Amino acid sequence: MDEEFSVDPSQLLEAASDFAHQPGALSDASAQEFLTRFPLPAIIGALQTNADYPGLENALVDCLERLFRTKYGASLIPHYMPFVLVGLAADSQKVRRLACIAISCLLEHTDKRIAVQLVLQDSVYSHLLSCLVDGDEQVATAATDAIKNLAGYPEGLGIVFPASVNEATHLGNLAAKCSSLGRVRVLALIVRLFSISSSVASEVSKSNLLSLLEAEVKNTNDTLVILSVLELLYELTEVKHSTEFLSKTSLLQLLSSIISNGAAESILRSRAMMIAGRLLSNESAFAFIDESSFRTVLSAIDRRFDYQESQDADESECALEALGQIGSSFQGATLVLSTSPPIARHVVDAAFDRQQHGKKLAALHSLGNIAGETRTGDTMVLNSSAEENLRSLIYDKASKTSKLTPSGLLLSVLQQDSEIRIAGYRLITGLVARTWCLMEIISRPEIINIVTDTYTETKKIGMEARHRCCEAIYRVFTSSSKLISDPAFAGMASKLQEAIRKGPYGARKHAEAQPLVMTADRF
């Protein structure tokens, strides 16, 4: 190391620690001022030659990370690529992580074409893949971020998705050579890449990388590995454009197989149900997935309800939630009410039965989705066959309880704890679009009293759900000229109108703290 760049390690340790722990975001001016006092070659040299100096490596790594995250610091990275390359292969996990972060900063803050060219010419991508599969958790995360940044630019797509499947850097080849942990990390990277954009997802699909997730579930008996991959699939279904690409795979058949497998761990069946429910929850799902695939999943879930004794509480709740997710769309709701017999019967039974609290709550929310609480306009009410099945299921259930009528069931729900009440508000908001339900509700003054009581709820979510319920009841009521002109309902209409006018938090707008006067305690 040149003498001009030598520095006292104790002095550098103190300065780097202070710099790394400065509060707030660093400006380019701060970075430039620090590097004027301690040139980058001096910091890098100290990191390489004084690694054993107590606390120095940690301080310098933290300091360099903050420097590289500034635009000025990132502009220096192209001049120190040899250091970055050495760092990517270093024994120190902290240094490897720093090198991965440097690549991310290079891609984020410098000219994209120059940055991608540097990555290409120095075989940086291969080193990043090594960090991904061989590094510790923090190194793997930093490597994933860097690769995601690289794939985010058209110039980088060819690096991340090589044209030849025989390339060593092809993610399929990499996964085949990894340990189980390494494969899960590669699969996690694929999910992250898929989420960038529809165009990148298309590259993932064309490279046949989605099949790796399915294959991993099929080809192992390791429950923890399967669960990890199912969690990745769950993340995948959150991506807006996932349905289009996942519909081209055999994922739904795989999920149906897991759900139907009575010998599988309950937690695996539960996650499979949740993944299927999320995947089939969008209106766009029917544009890419045929109805028979929907029915296959519903049939698998339906069969699990035949084994209630072997189904634990979590699995039951997941099954109900999955049905609610599928039923949140117009076509999905039509389907869960049109199977023979309607699979929605399980939701109705659990919503109004003396079940465990979690199961009842899941069922009420799911029934609210099926009834249309999450839909708008003409999509709330379904076709005549589905509507008749919904009505029959609820009336039949009521007739088998002490409540006797749907209004009795709904009132009972609103008289329970806050979580159940909120689900009840959602359910009424959806159901009241039907004339039969409106008549049930306005025939019970107790229901109107609860939903118009602005002091019933104390939490924001409850206040807003109650207010939306009032609005829904009043909107449907006022759409009927016959009902609105009936003097018998004038008082009820006035109550609803006043509750709506106050807003969800209206009763508390002018509440002020009251002084409390009491005598002093005496001993």
Q: What is the dihedral of CA 401, 407, 411, 413, to 10 degrees?
A: 60
Confidence tier at 167 by pLDDT (50, 70, 90): confident
Confidence tier at 10 by pLDDT (50, 70, 90): confident
Would you say 347 and 363 are in contact if contact means Cβ atoms under 8 Å apart?
Answer: yes
Confidence tier at 378 by pLDDT (50, 70, 90): confident
Residue-level pLDDT at 1:
40
Q: How far apart are CA 394 and CA 355, in angstroms?
A: 17
Would you say 331 and 372 are in contact if contact means Cβ atoms under 8 Å apart?
Answer: no
Per-residue pLDDT tens over the stretch 58-112: 889 999 999 999 999 999 999 999 999 999 999 999 999 999 999 999 999 888 8
Per-residue pLDDT tens over the stretch 416-450: 999 999 999 999 999 999 999 999 999 899 999 99
Residue-level pLDDT at 155:
85
What is the CATH architecture assignment of 1-160? Answer: Alpha Horseshoe (1.25)
3-state secondary structure of 24: coil
Angle between helices 81-88 and 93-109 (to 10 degrees): 140
CB neighbour list of residue 324: distance below 8 Å, 6 or more residues apart: 277, 347, 362, 365, 366, 367, 368, 369, 370
Q: Which two tokens stand for residue 51?
A: 């690694």
Residue-level pLDDT at 3:
43
Average pLDDT over residues 156-171: 88
Side-chain-side CA neighbours of 74 within 13 Å: the count stands at 21
Confidence tier at 53 by pLDDT (50, 70, 90): confident
Would you say 383 and 431 are in contact if contact means Cβ atoms under 8 Å apart?
Answer: no
Confidence tier at 511 by pLDDT (50, 70, 90): very low
Residue-level pLDDT at 126:
94
pLDDT higher than threshold 70 for residue 169: yes
Phi/psi-derived region of residue 55, left when phi > 0, alpha when psi is between -120 and 50, beta in every other case: left
Tell me the torsion sign for CA atoms 192, 194, 198, 204: positive
Residue-level pLDDT at 282:
79
Q: Where are the domains of the chain?
A: 1-160, 402-503
Q: Which two tokens stand for residue 206?
A: 């064309």
Q: What is the dihedral of CA 33, 36, 37, 42, to 10 degrees?
A: 130
Average pLDDT over residues 458-486: 89
Tell me the torsion sign for CA atoms 349, 350, 354, 355: positive
CB neighbour list of residue 498: distance below 8 Å, 6 or more residues apart: 452
Residue-level pLDDT at 105:
93
Helices (H), 400-433: 406-414, 418-431
Per-residue pLDDT tens over the stretch 313-336: 788 899 999 999 999 999 999 999
Residue-level pLDDT at 308:
58
pLDDT higher than threshold 80 for residue 508: no
pLDDT higher than threshold 80 for residue 299: yes
Counting other chains too, the contacts that 228-233 makes at CB distance below 8 Å and 24 or more residues apart are 228/184, 229/184, 229/187, 230/268, 230/271, 230/272, 230/275, 231/271, 232/184, 232/187, 232/188, 232/191, 233/275
Residue-level pLDDT at 517:
55
